[in-house]
Structure 1
Amino acid sequence: MSKTLLILGASRQAEEGLRHLKGCGWFLVGCDIDEQAPGFKWCDDHIIASVYHEDQAVPAALEYHKNVRPLDGVMCLAVDCPHVVARIARELDLPGISVETADLAVDKIAMKDRFKAAGMATPVYREVDSLAELMRFYDERQKPLVIKPCDSRGSKGVSLNKDPADFGWAFDHAKASSPTGRVEAEEFLSGPQLSTETIVYEGTAYTIGISDRNYEFLETYAPYIIENGGDLPSFWSEGEIAQAKKVMGQAARALGVENGVLKGDLLLHGGTVYVVEVALRLSGGYFCTHEVPLNTGRSTIIPVAKIALGEPVSLGELEVTGLRPVYQRYIFPKPGRIVDMSGIDVARDLPGVDFVDVWAEVGDEVISPVNAGGSVGVIITSGATKELAWQSMDAAQKAIEIQTV
């Protein structure tokens, strides 16, 4: 009987990854709260439960393991729930990171305390339990502050604040987005940022995915920090990339990851690579499912699945020999009610356009974005050169028209 792999997350962002896994010969069990999750069509069976709530997902997984089919491994895909994955693995004695390590990844303060203890560069930070404490932190630093929940995801509740007059609103905004009502403030450091995806296998870190994060809308949507896709390969120098890879290895050791995956948010400031934070999961936003394979010719999803199942991973799966230029951009229409959409199929058929997905429909209300969930679609292009890849992106963006009133 083929091995059974439980995958938490079967949304549209996970769909392509599930398709890849389907071809590996494993019995796939998807888990999602959405009974109509599009990724279920690539699964052999499914469980309906919230992957973000351990009191739902863990009992459901144990019930399935006992009464339906024994599980041999568990992982998450395009969802940020390593703490739930770790608890299922612990209860069923499956391969995986420890619960202690997983819990560090969903507590930004505990995580950064580990980085600080390991001597790693990270922006100055503090947990603040009141507006008064936040003001004291600002008085000490006298720099713009990023104010965010200690334990949320997808940039929910995050804002960049330069004026102390806005701190009261920002504190309340972050607190309301934290499941535990905890708020972190950290110094804003200028400089280019990277999104990275690192597989750790037998204690060695292999950083396969590296993308320049695009913050062209930082002023447009201020005080919210809205990322608009990314560019691969990075424009960072070889030395800076080497430093970034070293930092991700240090992060893995600091958090106690011997076998697993890390999504990294890194910053280059004053010639030093800072780790802003990491997540112990595969990246969402189509990064692991589309951008990394297009850029490197390698899948990070399949090696992570093998690790979750306790199967060996070859070094050939973890080494990158060439980098194809890739661009990703999200679609942000003007706020209002969508009255017409056109050009989507035209864009899909353009040379160099690898993927177009639009999840809005005519009649939907579009608001100005306040977090990573504010877009209505995505475009991914590639080419033999960056110039060709960008020409395809520019043509696809011009082809798609979404009219709002």
Structure 2
Amino acid sequence: MNKTLLIIGAGVEACEGIEIAQQMGLKLIIADGNPEAPGFTMAHHRLVVSTYDAEAIALQAWELVQKGISIDGVISMCADVPISVATVAQKLALPGLSMESAQLVADKLLMKQRLQQKGIAIPRFKAVASTTDLIVFAEETGLPFIIKPVDSRGARGVQLLDKIEQFESAFLFAQKESPTGRVMVEEYLEGPQISTETLIEDGRCYTLGFADRNYEWLPLTKPYMIENGGDSPSALDPAQRLDVIQTVEKAALALGITSGVAKGDMVLTSNGAKVIEIAGRLSGGYFSTTHIPLNCGVNFIQQALRLALGEKLDAKELVPKQNCGVAIRYLNLKPGLVKSITGIEDAQQSEGVEMLSIYIQKGDSVLGLQNHTQRTGFVMTKAETKNQAIQLAVAALSKIRVQYDD
């Protein structure tokens, strides 16, 4: 394929997606603020610039074009930077998110307002500017409810509040985690939570990613909303899955995502499926790069790259070929200073293990979990069934032993 793709993001999680782009024969321009980012090893041209600096990325891309280097598409890889992608697409007249859609998915308050206007099922929500606003919301909706930054990511600042005594500290923490200092609250929805991932071509949706999210840690991590992985196939019945899929696809289109990828965070309530958030990008956490292909046999990244290049999808390639059990689980470690870690090789060689990554080493400090970026390692397993995959993941992680300094 004699085309050039600009990929924004070159971190560890992006590497699998970048490798797929390389295998497709694409020439790669890669942008990342870390000059040592591992994905740069596969780049034909490196742009060492923050993934959040939309104007700088667009300018450097435009300068390459002026030098005779064609750019046929732009996509972010495991990086939540819709404004950067849309800015490049707009400047170079490339396929992808419109600036309006990018602004909607980058700002959770604007997103909820648009979804509400379009009649999409969502939790009750409100912008808040003080703890007094929290008290008013609690009187209106009751406890518990969610407080979150309007424009952060990775669950930073997201908290589940069930006591009035938490309000002041929770508001200040959420405000600190927002780049613009803005905070919102929303109703806490009871019910199974689901991650989805959808390819969209000219308004036609193909939701291939569908996994049950695992919040078994919540009683221990509250008020922080820390997910311990997820698993497929979903435990939901066919009618429930259809409800979730139809709702997330309507939500993506309501946000103007008519070509590209939409990632959905969903809840199936007693009143049907509701949208927590929609992102106009590929997911992180190896969901799009690894989990989806292991589950259904479709190379999701390859199809997303074709959309980014303005190519037509082949419907035959989007038909699931299998429905295997896949699970991801994270290490559950107590806080402390790491003295030693053993058992990693045994865990890697365990039955069903497809991926295992440990983020800590001797001398590192394990922190109490406040957001997803602080998790210390994970395993992904594949098996014939979902429950078998979960059991294999738990068994593999049990072989890892961490000792702490006194």
TM-score by length of 1: 0.97
Pair 1:397–1:175, CA change in 2 (3 A): same
* Counterpart amino acid of residue 42 in structure 2: W
> What pairs up with 1:258-337 in 2 under 5 angstroms?
258-337=258-337
Cα displacement string for residues 322-350 of structure 1 (whole angstroms, at most 9, x for unaligned residues): 21100101123211111101111111112
* Cα distance in 2, alignment partners of residues 107 and 56 from structure 1: 21
Cα displacement string for residues 26-49 of structure 1 (whole angstroms, at most 9, x for unaligned residues): 101211111111122233332111
**What secondary structure sits across from 1:198 in the alignment?**
strand
Q: CA deviation at 1:236?
A: 0.6
Paired position in structure 1 for 2:9 = 9
Q: CA deviation at 1:189?
A: 1.4
Paired position in structure 1 for 2:29 = 29
**What secondary structure sits across from 2:199 in the alignment?**
strand
**What secondary structure sits across from 2:354 in the alignment?**
strand
Unaligned runs of 5+ residues in structure 2 are none
Paired position in structure 2 for 1:364 = 364
* Counterpart amino acid of residue 8 in structure 1: I
* Cα distance in 1, alignment partners of residues 191 and 78 from structure 2: 27
* Counterpart amino acid of residue 129 in structure 1: A
**What secondary structure sits across from 1:399 in the alignment?**
coil
Does the 8 Å contact 2:199/2:304 carry over to 1? yes
* Counterpart amino acid of residue 395 in structure 1: A
Paired position in structure 1 for 2:38 = 38
> What pairs up with 1:230-269 in 2 under 5 angstroms?
230-269=230-269
Unaligned runs of 5+ residues in structure 1 are none
Does the 8 Å contact 2:149/2:158 carry over to 1? yes
Structure 1: 4+ residue segments shifted above 4 A = none
**What secondary structure sits across from 1:114 in the alignment?**
helix
Q: CA deviation at 1:385?
A: 2.4
Q: Is the counterpart of residue 73 in structure 1 residue 63 in structure 2?
A: no
Cα displacement string for residues 256-287 of structure 1 (whole angstroms, at most 9, x for unaligned residues): 11111111000011141010111100000111
Provide the identity percentage: 40
Does the 8 Å contact 1:49/1:60 carry over to 2? no
Paired position in structure 2 for 1:167 = 167
* Counterpart amino acid of residue 8 in structure 2: L
Cα displacement string for residues 162-213 of structure 1 (whole angstroms, at most 9, x for unaligned residues): 1111111111111111111110000111111001001111211111000100
* Counterpart amino acid of residue 324 in structure 2: R
Paired position in structure 2 for 1:210 = 210
* Counterpart amino acid of residue 322 in structure 2: G
Q: Is the counterpart of residue 117 in structure 1 residue 117 in structure 2?
A: yes
Q: CA deviation at 1:360?
A: 1.3
* Cα distance in 2, alignment partners of residues 404 and 62 from structure 1: 51
TM-score by length of 2: 0.97
Does the 8 Å contact 1:369/1:375 carry over to 2? yes
Does the 8 Å contact 1:29/1:46 carry over to 2? yes
Cα displacement string for residues 140-178 of structure 1 (whole angstroms, at most 9, x for unaligned residues): 112211000111111111111011111111111111111
Does the 8 Å contact 1:352/1:383 carry over to 2? yes
**What secondary structure sits across from 1:292 in the alignment?**
helix
**What secondary structure sits across from 2:220 in the alignment?**
coil
Paired position in structure 2 for 1:220 = 220
**What secondary structure sits across from 1:338 in the alignment?**
strand
Paired position in structure 2 for 1:343 = 343
